[in-house]
Structure 1
Amino acid sequence: MTQEIQILVISLQRSPDRREKARQELSKINLPWEFLDAVDGSLMSQPPSEYKPSKVKRLQGYSLTANEIGCYLSHKKAWQRCVDQNLPTLILEDDFTLAADFENYLKTLVENSDRWDFLRLQGLYEVPYNKVSQIGNVTIAKNQGDAVGATGYLVKPVIAQRLIDASHEIYEPVDHFLEHHQKHHLDFLAIRPYLIDITRVKSTIDDRSEREPIKGLSKRIRSVYRALDRIFSKHPWFPR
């Protein structure tokens, strides 16, 4: 396959073991790829301008961790590289495993890039889906639920730019944002079954804790704040 796609692996410079595992996994395919140095949230002395702590606390009911913010910024960095190089891009986090015959699947998708703009290749949760099209033995589908996860996906430059444009404020984990259709107004497709899985090793990019669901009075207060945001903001965070 000619240089019709770029492959970026988001990874922290301080994670040599994870980088070595990524190298081993990518040795299974004969395609060029490169590491994209992740934004290390643990080194940020203060939140970036895109993150408004008090507003996030009101409208989410919790604060994002430093590494969640860094993870989001890392994906924005990858989207910008996609735009700058003007190439469809496979974006990977460094805790991935590839399906058998992944290279041939990827070649098929690149050769039929008119069928997709953004393709989810991995999901954390199993959700129902509707088949959209079939390319050989590759099934392109529309998920009927939020699979979340951002370990592996394909994106075209025009969509990468729209994701950047919709990310002038950061208030949710990046994989939740990708599912937030009312915000970015994009409908994404997925490959089913998925071609990428995660290694089940704790991520050093995103240290998201197991949060308790927002319940009771806290949930009602959050709903009020979100309703007010929809009324008074030109760009509400949680539009209907």
Structure 2
Amino acid sequence: MKLYVINLARAVERRERVKQCLSQLNVDFEFFDAVDGGEGLRPELASKPNDAYRIRYRGRVLTPGEKGVYASHFLLWQKCIELNEPIVILEDDFLPTQFFNQVIERLPSLHEKYDYLRIEAQDSHVEGAMIENTHDGFQVVMWKDNRGGTRGYSITPSAAKKFVENSDEWLCAVDNFIGESYWHDVPGMGVIPYAVFNPSDMESNVQNIIVRSKIRVMNKILRELNRVYRGSALWLWNLRYLRRIDKTE
């Protein structure tokens, strides 16, 4: 199973840290050169961010960095489809847990049932629904809000195809898109124990600082209505999905 680490070519220190961590674990991987949003998107991707929608319903456009992150993941989804096999995607601001190798070795068999698996730690406040306890100590859960973080996950070509097909327009950051399952019908499954976590001394350098600007009153109202809509849509999708799998068991 191929493992890709998204990394800006100029982020030499991060690249060396990843090399050191994964070489110590005897893990084969490839660096994937991240798209530097500050330098602009390639022509076939440049029209995908919908700035008008963002201003109207989110209060601001995606930053160049957020566009670069989305583009990097998008290109790896296309790579997954091209390879026609599951892949692991990591961003370079991770550290492996003691379970890293066990999780990576277990993913191919788990992907026989699940198309997307989050392998990074989830925020403590996020509720999960237990889906499966495996005989070898792993748990598969469905995170009811998976909108935070793309530091580590694995996908099948089926999930990658759904992500690509529903990314004609980029209306939100890529972690929000992946987590809002009603867009693409890919449930936010996760594996416990985790393979990676977010070290306190490192943040993504593919993204950049968000510049806050004054938002018109009407846009504030639309933003809040949109937030309620998205939360309700996700809650309803989760409810329907869990009911559906209950009926099949």
So what's the TM-score if we normalise by structure 1? Answer: 0.84
The Cα offsets for residues 7-63 of structure 1, whole Å up to 9 and x where unpaired, read as: 000111111111011111111332321001110011118981101322221121111
Q: 1:124 to 1:63 in 2, by over 3 A?
A: farther
SS in 2 for 1:177: helix
Match of 1:64 among 62, 65, 73: 62
Greater Cα shift, 200-209 or 30-39: 200-209
Tell me if structure 2 keeps the 8 A contact 1:123–1:147.
Answer: no
Deviations 1:117-171 (A, max 9, x none): 1001114522121221122111111112235100000100111011011111112
Distance 1:16 1:209, change over 3 A: same
For the residue of structure 2 that corresponds to 1:150, the secondary structure is: coil
The answer to whether structure 1 residue 75 and structure 2 residue 76 are counterparts is no
Distance 1:206 1:45, change over 3 A: closer
1:234 — aligned with what?
Answer: none
* Matching of residue 128 in structure 1 with residue 127 in structure 2: yes
SS of residue in 2 equivalent to 1:115: coil
Identity of aligned residues (%): 28
Aligned-pair distance for 1:210? 8.7
1:17 aligns with 2:13: yes
1:174-204 CA distance string (max 9 Å, x none): 0011111121122121012422112231311
Residue ranges of structure 1 left out of the alignment (5+ in a row):
231-236
SS at the partner of 2:133? strand
- What secondary structure, in the 3-state scheme, does the structure 1 residue paired with 2:24 have? coil
CA spacing shift, 1:63–1:102, aligned 2, 3 Å? same
Distance between the aligned counterparts of 2:122 and 2:211, measured in 1? 14
Aligned to 2:53: 55
- CA distance, structure 2, for counterparts of residue 110 and residue 215 of structure 1: 49
- Give the Cα–Cα distance (whole angstroms) in 2 for the partners of residues 79 and 28 of structure 1: 28
Which residue number corresponds to residue 191 of structure 2? 191
- Distance between the aligned counterparts of 1:167 and 1:123, measured in 2? 25
Q: Structure 2 residue aligned with 1:28, among 24, 33, 44?
A: 24
CA 25–223 in structure 1, closer or farther in 2 if over 3 Å, else same:
same
Q: In structure 2, do the counterparts of structure 1 residues 141 and 239 end up closer, same or farther at CA, with 3 Å as the change threshold?
A: closer
- Alpha-carbon RMSD across the aligned residues, in angstroms, is 2.8
Aligned to 2:239: none
Report how many residues are paired.
226
| TM-score, structure 2 as length reference | 0.81
Please show how residues 160-199 of structure 1 align to structure 2 within 5 Å: 160-199=160-199
SS of the equivalent of 1:141 reads strand
Counterpart of 2:195 in structure 1: which amino acid? L
Q: Residues 110 and 91 from structure 1, CA distance in 2 versus in 1: closer, same or farther, beyond 3 angstroms? A: same
